[in-house]
């Protein structure tokens, strides 16, 4: 039986959607435990998804951070594909967490799925996780998925989605792979500058490519420090 259903209004808004969207509640397929275990696990009184979103895990070494690392490594290795699928079919918190676990464990089998979710941009906030996962997978195929996303959404200046996270991830991949995918995008007066210029009220310095690359490096270098390359 197909448990996926379309939701609108407040239900879609709570899931991170901006309009009509399709989702599947893990509880409807007997997998309600995935949200409790992987998404709502708490650190310093905060659920994991908020800790991932804030990047506070990168604070100086301490007992709390060691606990976070230990549990994330355990869960990234233990989570099954069926559990990841259940999370990726749900709302933004679950999708963000699933993408993070995929990135930590470098599960290349999810590359195309992550790329599709990023390109569809069905929910808010989760895109940061998708970009992290692609940066961690670290191949030309991942760079090309990021380019496809940027080509689509930099042409939509009215949409402030995950363009910044995508460019940061792409710049990191260029540096690691010795490629130049981002050159056309962040060239002076190119697509990136044009999009930034259309973002009314945004601090342009926060959208500087080097700053976005540094933010991606912070997340990925931290993950590289406690996972095998």
Read off the pLDDT of each residue in 16-34 and give the average, rounded to a whole number: 81
Q: Which of 5-9, 54-58, 191-195 has the highest mean pLDDT?
A: 191-195
The answer to whether residue 229 sits within a structural domain is no
Q: 43 pairs with which residues across the strands?
A: 46
Q: By mean pLDDT, which of 29-38, 40-49, 127-136, 152-161 is the weakest?
A: 40-49
Question: For residue 43, is pLDDT > 80?
Answer: no
For the chain, what is the domain count? 1
| Residue pLDDT, tens place only, 127-160 | 999 999 999 999 999 999 999 999 999 999 999 9
The answer to whether residue 118 sits within a structural domain is yes
The answer to whether residue 217 sits within a structural domain is yes
pLDDT for residue 113: 98
pTM (2 decimals)?
A: 0.89
The answer to whether residue 173 sits within a structural domain is yes
| Residue pLDDT, tens place only, 63-122 | 567 778 888 889 999 999 999 999 999 999 999 999 999 999 999 999 999 999 999 998
The answer to whether residue 73 sits within a structural domain is yes
192 closest CA partner among 220, 178, 173, 213:
213
| Residue pLDDT, tens place only, 58-77 | 665 555 677 788 888 899 99
The domain of 79 spans 5-224
The answer to whether residue 27 sits within a structural domain is yes
| Residue pLDDT, tens place only, 167-225 | 999 999 999 999 999 999 999 999 999 999 999 877 888 999 999 999 999 889 888 87
pLDDT for residue 23: 81
Read off the pLDDT of each residue in 163-167 and give the average, rounded to a whole number: 97
The answer to whether residue 106 sits within a structural domain is yes
């Amino acid at each position: 039986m197909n448990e996926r259903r379309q939701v609108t209004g407040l239900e879609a808004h709570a899931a991170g959607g901006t309009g009509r969207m399709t989702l599947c509640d893990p509880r409807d397929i007997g997998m309600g435990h995935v949200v409790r275990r992987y998404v709502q696990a708490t650190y310093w009184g905060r659920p994991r998804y908020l800790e991932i979103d804030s990047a506070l895990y990168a604070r100086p070494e301490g007992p709390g951070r060691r606990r976070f690392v230990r549990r994330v490594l355990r869960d990234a290795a233990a989570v099954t594909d069926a559990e990841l699928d259940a999370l990726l079919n749900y709302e933004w918190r679950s999708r963000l967490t699933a993408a993070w676990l995929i990135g930590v464990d470098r599960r290349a089998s999810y590359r195309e799925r992550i790329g599709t979710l990023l390109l569809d941009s069905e929910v808010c906030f989760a895109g940061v996780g998708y970009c992290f996962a692609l940066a961690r997978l670290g191949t030309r195929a991942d760079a090309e998925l990021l380019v496809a996303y940027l080509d689509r959404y930099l042409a939509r200046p009215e949409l402030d989605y995950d363009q910044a996270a995508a460019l940061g991830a792409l710049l990191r991949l260029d540096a690691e792979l010795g490629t130049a995918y981002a050159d056309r995008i962040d060239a002076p007066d190119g697509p990136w500058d044009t999009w930034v210029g259309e973002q009314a009220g945004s601090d342009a310095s926060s959208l500087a490519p080097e700053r976005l690359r540094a933010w991606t490096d912070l997340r990925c270098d931290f993950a590289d420090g406690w996972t095998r390359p």
